[in-house]
Amino acid sequence: GENVEQHPSTLSVQEGDSAVIKCTYSDSASNYFPWYKQELGKRPQLIIDIRSNVGEKKDQRIAVTLNKTAKHFSLHITETQPEDSAVYFCAASTRGGGGNKLTFGTGTQLKVEL
């Protein structure tokens, strides 16, 4: 089955700096890669996703890049703000054709310091 590894497990940055979180996946059939943000005691919230036919996607301060050959994808947050502090999870899925089970990474605790 699919295996997703995520690094780093914790990340501390100064406000205004950039943050990068990296994930690798094992199943070459995976074609959908969402990123979720989970604040303490709250539900995971989808912040951005990318499909395997695209190499990069951007939404304001957040961007995701995908390298299918190397089977890795990354989340980039620019101009970080204190409200970006949370746990971020990457996930991989094979969408369509009978299900969209998400396999999650182990999470990255991002702390944005003033």
Partner 1 sequence: DAGVTQSPTHLIKTRGQQVTLRCSPKSGHDTVSWYQQALGQGPQFIFQYYEEEERQRGNFPDRFSGHQFPNYSSELNVNALLLGDSALYLCASSRGSSTEAFFGQGTRLTVV
Nearer to partner 1, 53 or 69 (CB): 53
Q: How many residues does the chain have?
A: 114
Q: Binding of partner 1 at residue 106 (CB under 8 A)?
A: yes
Q: Binding of partner 1 at residue 36 (CB under 8 A)?
A: yes
Using CA atoms, how far apart are residues 78 and 106, in angstroms rounded to an integer? 22
What single-letter DSSP state applies at residue 36?
A: E
Q: Binding of partner 1 at residue 102 (CB under 8 A)?
A: yes
Using CA atoms, how far apart are residues 51 and 88, in angstroms rounded to an integer? 18
Q: Binding of partner 1 at residue 21 (CB under 8 A)?
A: no
- 33 near 48, Cβ under 8 Å? no
Q: Which of 43, 60, 69, 114 binds partner 1 (CB under 8 A)?
A: 43
The strand pairing partners of 20, in sequence order, are: 76
The strand pairing partners of 60, in sequence order, are: none
Q: Binding of partner 1 at residue 53 (CB under 8 A)?
A: no
Q: Binding of partner 1 at residue 107 (CB under 8 A)?
A: yes
The strand pairing partners of 6, in sequence order, are: 23
Q: Binding of partner 1 at residue 70 (CB under 8 A)?
A: no
List interacting residues with partner 1 (CB under 8 A): 1, 4, 6, 34, 36, 42-46, 49, 89, 91, 95-107
